[in-house]
Chains A and B, each alone.
Chain A
Amino acid sequence: DSGVTQTPKHLITATGQRVTLRCSPRSGDLSVYWYQQSLDQGLQFLIQYYNGEERAKGNILERFSAQQFPDLHSELNLSSLELGDSALYFCASSVGGYGGELFFGEGSRLTVL
């Protein structure tokens, strides 16, 4: 158990809909990262927050947004969903935003029909 909690574990929805994925980092970790893994692809970096502020941005679509709240949990919002958004979405946390290892949650599997 990494200590990172992601909900929901599975989500099935239709094209055009909007979903929210939630992540609670390990106790004491200030930094949260979001990754997308499609089929047998690698982990694509989406976005990173550190203590409530956006610190780094990757290949995140404009239809996607994220935030980190004062209690350090984070949410990834995916809107106007398309079939190609079906993927595993991982959240990871670390102590700080600068080096060190990432601790991953078990992921949220999104299926868009």
Chain B
Amino acid sequence: DQQVKQNSPSLSVQEGRISILNCDYTNSMFDYFLWYKKYPAEGPTFLISISSIKDKNEDGRFTVFLNKSAKHLSLHIVPSQPGDSAVYFCAAMNKGTYKYIFGTGTRLKVLA
């Protein structure tokens, strides 16, 4: 049972444009969400997080939006840069447990 879903395995975007990565979840008990970036041969690195009490969180070029009623979150990268090319994972957790559940990832390619 995949509780966190990233339905787009890949995405290509032109440099300077906006990249939008999407993530859906099924467990309404999730209350904390994170995005990670992964380059080949490296471990995932933390990008940005959001608590369920918020609907938006920004950090530089990265913004995460949370729509609790739709059980959907998205990561916006503006402007996209070639160095952003990587696999992006969303993750969710219920703070009442200790499990971080990850999606299957979306491979972003930013074209120069």
Mark A residues whose CB is within 8 Å of B. 2, 4, 31, 33, 35, 40-45, 48, 50, 55-56, 58, 90, 92, 97-99, 101-107
Question: What count of chain B residues pass the 8 Å CB interface test?
Answer: 26
CB pair B34 A107 closer than 8 Å: no
Mark B residues whose CB is within 8 Å of A. 4, 6, 9, 32, 34, 36, 41-46, 49, 89, 91, 93, 95, 97-105
| A-B contact number at CB 8 A | 59
Q: How far is the CA of A63 from the CA of B12 in the complex (A)?
A: 40
Instruction: List 10 contacting pairs A-B, 8 Å CB cutoff, sorted by A.
Output: A4-B43, A42-B89, A45-B99, A45-B102, A48-B99, A92-B43, A101-B46, A102-B46, A102-B100, A104-B44
CB pair A98 B98 closer than 8 Å: yes
A108 → chain B, closest Cβ, in Å?
A: 10
Given contacts A99-B93, A101-B49, contact A90 B98 (CB under 8 A): no
By a CB distance below 8 angstroms, the chain B residues around A56 are 97-99
Given contacts A99-B32, A101-B49, A104-B45, contact A41 B99 (CB under 8 A): no
CB pair A107 B102 closer than 8 Å: no
Q: How far is the CA of A92 from the CA of B93 in the complex (A)?
A: 15
Closest 5 CB pairs of A and B: A104-B43, A42-B104, A43-B102, A56-B98, A101-B46
By a CB distance below 8 angstroms, the chain B residues around A106 are 41-43
CB pair A35 B93 closer than 8 Å: no
By a CB distance below 8 angstroms, the chain A residues around B91 are 43
Q: How far is the CA of A99 from the CA of B31 in the complex (A)?
A: 10
